[in-house]
Structure 1
């Protein structure tokens, strides 16, 4: 079975609820950082192909129109970085941003940063859907939080509990490229609470119509199963026992609800805004 986990594909509903959060809630948060600064230092860790990050940069500029922005991009995939740069070349009006490209993992960047002995502090760091790819999420999060300016923020977005449980159902039988562990915000919040680290959390509610997944041979249903499991041609290539287990899981009442005969899977995510 072939994975496309590194391709940057996302469930449309998941992507949209992130964009809604960024455009409705995040602007006021961005307005609260870096007051009066001539340069704002920001960072994307696991920036992917840049769509969400460029949206954040535009909103930051609206809140701080006179400030320059220096953006450190940390992304290990050359394919994703090339997509990011291609998108940037087609996005006008970002001349206020300087981009520093770092083709490396979050852990590699941490080592590199310590070698530099840099005293640069970040006003905003986004870590969207990336903590699954590190060996020790608590250590990684602690390091990046240590880079914050005194009024800086880390934005962390992770999948909700239904997503995490689906990963566990598929565990060891599908190729989740690069994913080290299943992780939810509940575990991160427990860590933050244990260290008395202040944060706010936001539920990004989203439902995905998966009705066609239960019709064998349905093209739309097959594509949805590929996206949900992150496996190309999942229905054709997965063992029968695994397919049955995934479909049974998707239909459970704690994971989906039925409305007017349609089956809606809870693909909600959660955002944490972590203070310095």
Structure 2
């Protein structure tokens, strides 16, 4: 998704400086390989791929006494992993040039995914916090940031989660629970409660053929930095 955004920007400008913050080295390596294999597609884009979090990047900039400025900043499903999402929204907005655009994408507050996280907060680790669209709206309001939003319906087939022999289903459960091997490590009653909840009406839709579709709707909030008044 990030690389597609970079190419779209490049189609509008002669050159693009693309700074990417990603704490997972494996994801950065995939990005490097993608760029290397598609050099023509990414011509004119200068990639600065950094293995660090936004909080770590911010701390380094503060210690150096610098304030980076960008024309476009995207935080796509990433504000779950900051120390303070409201404070981070203010920081990202401050990093925009006048007229710059901030794009934030998070799970919707009407999605089954949000209801799941809200129902099982103790399954979350110390890295991820429960954040949905309403939290981002409140964060923007706290700084007086005006924004537009758009809702995107999305569904995930979780039918195999209910097949104890399915490896795919096991991995989907691990992803949704943010837990490694929930099936093998959680008490049986907790694992069953988890399955019952994700398969229930609050989170999913059951099709006539038995397929179970999990609601992972998300919202995009777009803010443009206004010019300072004279």
Identify the TM-score tier after normalising by the shorter chain.
0.7 to 0.9
The alignment partner of 1:213 has SS state of helix
- Cα deviation, residue 125, structure 1: 0.5
What is the rounded CA distance, in whole Å, between the counterparts of 1:227 and 1:73 in structure 2? 23
Q: Deviations over 1:55-92 (max 9, x none)?
A: 1111111223xx21111222223333222222221122
- After superposition, the Cα gap between the structure-2 partners of 1:125 and 1:168, relative to the gap in structure 1 and judged at 3 Å, is same
Q: Deviations over 1:202-255 (max 9, x none)?
A: 112111222232233234433332332233433233211221221121122121
What is the rounded CA distance, in whole Å, between the counterparts of 1:273 and 1:231 in structure 2? 31
The alignment partner of 2:11 has SS state of helix
Query: Is the Cα contact below 8 Å between 1:160 and 1:270 reproduced in 2?
Result: yes
Paired residue for 2:228?
none
How many residue pairs get aligned? The number is 221
Paired residue for 1:74?
21
The alignment partner of 1:254 has SS state of coil
**Unmatched 5+ residue regions in structure 2?**
226-230
Aligned counterparts, 1:1-276, within 5 A: 52-64=1-13, 67-93=14-40, 94-118=42-66, 120-161=68-109, 162-173=112-123, 176=125, 178-179=127-128, 181-260=129-208, 261-276=210-225
Query: Is the Cα contact below 8 Å between 2:89 and 2:140 reproduced in 1?
Result: no
Query: Is the Cα contact below 8 Å between 2:61 and 2:67 reproduced in 1?
Result: no
Query: Is the Cα contact below 8 Å between 2:154 and 2:215 reproduced in 1?
Result: yes
What is the rounded CA distance, in whole Å, between the counterparts of 1:146 and 1:90 in structure 2? 35
Query: Is the Cα contact below 8 Å between 2:133 and 2:219 reproduced in 1?
Result: yes
What is the rounded CA distance, in whole Å, between the counterparts of 1:106 and 1:92 in structure 2? 27
Q: Deviations over 1:8-52 (max 9, x none)?
A: xxxxxxxxxxxxxxxxxxxxxxxxxxxxxxxxxxxxxxxxxxxx1
The alignment partner of 1:227 has SS state of helix
- Cα deviation, residue 142, structure 1: 0.6
What is the rounded CA distance, in whole Å, between the counterparts of 1:117 and 1:97 in structure 2? 27
Query: Is the Cα contact below 8 Å between 1:169 and 1:245 reproduced in 2?
Result: no
- Cα deviation, residue 196, structure 1: 2.9
- Cα deviation, residue 156, structure 1: 0.8
**Unmatched 5+ residue regions in structure 1?**
1-51
Query: Is the Cα contact below 8 Å between 2:74 and 2:102 reproduced in 1?
Result: yes
What is the rounded CA distance, in whole Å, between the counterparts of 1:213 and 1:77 in structure 2? 26
Query: Is the Cα contact below 8 Å between 1:170 and 1:242 reproduced in 2?
Result: no
What is the rounded CA distance, in whole Å, between the counterparts of 2:79 and 2:97 in structure 1? 21
The alignment partner of 1:172 has SS state of helix
What is the rounded CA distance, in whole Å, between the counterparts of 1:185 and 1:173 in structure 2? 21
